[in-house]
Amino acid sequence: SFQSEFGYTALPMRVRFGIDVLGQLRSHIAELGIERAIVVCTPEQRTVAESVLARLDDRGAGIFDRAEMHVPVEVADDAVRFAVDRGADACVVVGGGSSVGLGKAIALQHRMPIIAIPTTYAGSEMTPVWGSTRDGHKQTGSSPSVLPALVLYDPGLTTTLPAELSAASGMNAMAHAVEALYAPDASPIISLMAEEGIRAFAEALPRVVTDPQNIDHRTRALYGAWLCGASLGATTMSLHHKLCHAIGGSLNLPHAQTHAIVLPYSMAYNESSAPAAQAAVRRALHTDTSAAVALWELTQSLPIPHALTQIGMTASDIDTVVEQALRNPYSNPREVTEEGLRGLLQDALAGRRPT
Ligand code: NAD
């Protein structure tokens, strides 16, 4: 049935999408009135950052290549000092969620526009959410000042993303869209984007992993990443994200893989309590049975771990995760109970077909 009451806030950002769209960077920078931009990346992506710096030409102010998972505050502080020393008035981030996260930490402390050039499917470039870690404790928040002013999606930059990481990152993105479909602040507008994002990944991911260099498949997947990221940026996440946060935070497990493994089970938990979301996922996955089973079957076809035990979680960790996941209440289509969470985690630990 049609959702007859809803709100929608358009986020103020410019997006350019396409092969070689990176070639437009210099003209966009000039149009935005930026004079000296630093480039932020992980150590592994230094080479691509150098090509971005070259595109900035006389408006480039150097590369800070120390982005890493979870944005440690020490790294963020050094990055801000680097930006100040170089007289930077903008920050160009190239990479996945870790690089975008560091750019956001810089912008939060030292106001400057972010230009994001995503090379994974994480979707952070589409959200006002930031996070940083001090002494192992992750703090997150939301601020319009960390929303990129410009996002350049260039599928050519994603062909180097290994098949395993592409698959896990794509499932991570699909999880944003699934939760946007049943979010407390869902809207028909965002649901359109979310469903189309899931569809794009369901079609593209199996092809991306068998033919990672194929630009058509990469283009479709990156389009999906944009839609799923935008769905994340516009809504409040529920059980799946809270649970993955609890697993990732307490056990320090890899982010995208954790999301990829858990998604079929969080869908199984919520599916019958969220019929509109269930219908949208079924349409996107071309199935008329269980959305959870269809997601699980998709993961089985991808070169990713399929059970939480495969990435280092054990049955003895369940107590810690359940306790963390129940600490703060949040909206979810189905009531989140200790018993329900234990069942979900046992299934995800074993990687068994969801029921
Ligand atoms: P990531 O950014 O840590 O990247 C993973 C690895 O892949 C890195 O070593 C990176 O150098 C490499 N890499 C990235 N793109 C590549 C490419 N095209 N070719 C080859 N190697 C490449 O991982 P991620 O999954 O993109 O991001 C995860 C992080 O993002 C988490 O910390 C998560 O919390 C955060 N995140 C935040 C938001 C938000 O809204 N704030 C949203 C999603 C994710």
pLDDT of the residue at 150: 98
Indicate whether this complex's ipTM tops 0.85.
Answer: yes
DSSP string, 46-73: HHHHHHHHHHHGGGEEEEE----TT-BH
The rounded distance, in Å, linking the Cα atoms of 302 and 166 is 10
Residues in CB range of 179: below 8 A, 6 or more apart = 232, 235, 237, 238, 239, 240, 241
What distance in angstroms lies between residue 289's CA and the mean position of ligand 1's atoms? 33
pLDDT, position 343: 97
Q: Give the separation between CA 93 and CA 103, rounded to whole angstroms.
A: 6
Q: Is the CB of 219 inside a 6 Å radius of any atom of ligand 1?
A: no
Which of 64, 133, 165, 213 for a ligand 1 pocket mutation test, highest count of atoms within 8 Å of Cβ? Answer: 165
CATH superfamily assigned to domain 163-350: Dehydroquinate synthase-like - alpha domain (1.20.1090.10)
| Geometric angle at alpha carbon 316, from 312 and 321, rounded to 5° | 80
Q: Which atom of ligand 1 is nearest to the CA of 172?
A: 25
pLDDT attached to residue 2? 85
The CATH class that applies to domain 14-157 reads: alpha beta
Taking the centre of ligand 1 as the mean of its atom positions, its distance from the CA of residue 326, in whole angstroms, is 27
Using a 6 Å cutoff on CB, does residue 129 contact ligand 1?
yes
Whether ligand 1 lies within 6 angstroms of the CB of 161 is answered as yes
| Cβ of residue 29 lying under 6 Å from some atom of ligand 1 | no
Strand-pair partners of 244:
none
Q: What is the C-alpha separation between 147 and 17, in angstroms, rounded?
A: 17
Q: Which two tokens stand for residue 50?
A: 């150098």
Q: Can you give the pLDDT at residue 95?
A: 98
pLDDT for 135: 86
Q: Which atom of ligand 1 lies at the shortest distance from residue 69's CA?
A: 32
How far apart, in Å, do the first and last CA atoms of the chain sit? Answer: 26
User: How far does residue 229's CA lie from ligand 1's centre (Å)?
Assistant: 13
For ligand 1, atom 31, name the residue with the nearest CA: 97
d(CA 112, CA 88): 8
- Residue 287 Cα to ligand 1 midpoint, Å, equals 30
Q: What is the pLDDT along the chain (355 residues), one digit of tens a residue?
A: 788 899 999 999 999 999 999 999 999 999 999 999 999 999 999 999 999 999 999 999 999 999 999 999 999 999 999 999 999 999 999 999 999 999 999 999 999 999 999 999 999 999 999 999 998 788 999 999 999 999 999 999 999 999 999 999 999 999 999 999 999 999 999 999 999 999 999 999 999 999 999 999 999 999 999 999 999 999 999 999 999 999 988 888 999 999 999 999 999 999 999 999 999 999 999 999 899 999 999 999 999 999 999 999 999 999 999 999 999 889 999 999 999 999 999 999 999 999 8
Angstrom distances, CA of residue 346 to CA of 272, 274, 321, 352 = 20, 22, 12, 9
Residue nearest to atom 40 of ligand 1 (CA): 124
How deeply is 316 buried, as exposed, middle or buried, from its count of CB atoms within 10 A (0-12, 13-18, 19+)?
exposed
- How far apart CA 91 and CA 34 sit, in angstroms, is 10
Give 3-state DSSP helix, strand, coil % of the chain, rounded to 5. 60, 10, 30
The DSSP output letter for 149 is: S
Q: Are strands 137-142 and 129-134 parallel, antiparallel or unpaired?
A: antiparallel
Alpha-carbon distances, residue 345 vs 173, 179, 237, 320, 349 (angstroms):
21, 18, 19, 12, 6
- Where along the chain do its domains lie? 14-157, 163-350
